[in-house]
Amino acid sequence: MGEAVEAVVAELTGLVSTGHPTVLFGHSFGGLLAYEVAGSLWRQWRTWPRALVVAACKPPREWVGAGRGLADDEDELTDLLDARGLEAEDMDEDSRELMLEVLRQDARLSLSFAEPDQPVVDCPLEAWGGRDDLTVSHEHVADWRDYAGGEFQERLFPGGHYFCLETPAPALELLRSMACQSPIDTKGGTL
């Protein structure tokens, strides 16, 4: 997990070091990665992103050890893919293998995740979920409140785990709005 976080932070360094506001968005396991990147930005640059948005993502405490036994179990990975609304048997072989590999890598990365001692992010935090998501419940979405050091917003969208792909316009409009807001103070808080 640390290497993935470092790689994203390295890509953001040019923006952050010049004071450009940043909105971090992550879907599913990418939400956990975005959360970790937000904390790393604070530790390295003493700045928070303008906002952190996690979509279809369980809160960090649910990820500790979540990939154990999953990364190498083809049947479990296929079941997980099916539960997310992507029936593995309905995909062509290349698409199926690509999606299974993404889930496999997420499971491997999650094995190295340990919840931080100070898990609160001190920037606006939004947690988004699909109303029909079978893998991330509405309670999981609401539980992100525990990680918000300030402003918190929970939003539920029509659709399942991949609601952002099923109907992208609402999510894109919200992200665009966040990115275009007037500058806000992101230099505060702890992680």
Domain ranges of the chain: 1-6+15-64+150-163, 67-112
Q: Which residues of 161-188 are buried (b: 16+ CB within 10 A; e: fewer)?
A: bbbbeeeeeebeebbeebeeeeeeebee
**18-77 per-position pLDDT tens digit:** 888 899 999 999 999 999 999 999 999 999 999 999 999 999 999 877 666 666 677 777
Q: How confident is the model at residue 189 (pLDDT cuts 50, 70, 90)?
A: very low
**Per-residue pLDDT at 191 exceeds 50:** no
Higher pLDDT, 156 or 65: 156
**pLDDT above 70 coverage of the chain, percent:** 86
**pLDDT above 90 coverage of the chain, percent:** 55
Measured torsion, CA atoms of residues 15, 122, 144, 34, in degrees rounded to the nearest 10: 20
| Global pTM value | 0.82
CB-count exposure of residue 27 (10 Å: 0-12, 13-18, 19+): buried
Give the span between the Cα atoms of 190 and 149, in whole angstroms. 9
Q: How confident is the model at residue 186 (pLDDT cuts 50, 70, 90)?
A: very low
Q: Which amino acid is at 99?
A: M
Q: How confident is the model at residue 86 (pLDDT cuts 50, 70, 90)?
A: low
Higher pLDDT, 113 or 163: 163
Lowest-confidence region among 90-94, 134-138, 141-145, 152-156? 90-94
Give the span between the Cα atoms of 143 and 140, in whole angstroms. 5
Higher pLDDT, 87 or 113: 113
Q: How confident is the model at residue 84 (pLDDT cuts 50, 70, 90)?
A: low
Average pLDDT, the chain: 86
- Across the chain, where does the E strand assignment appear? 23-27, 51-55, 125-130, 152-157
**Per-residue pLDDT at 178 exceeds 60:** yes
Query: What is the structure's pLDDT at 78?
Result: 74
Q: Quote the DSSP letter at residue 100.
A: H
**Per-residue pLDDT at 83 exceeds 80:** no
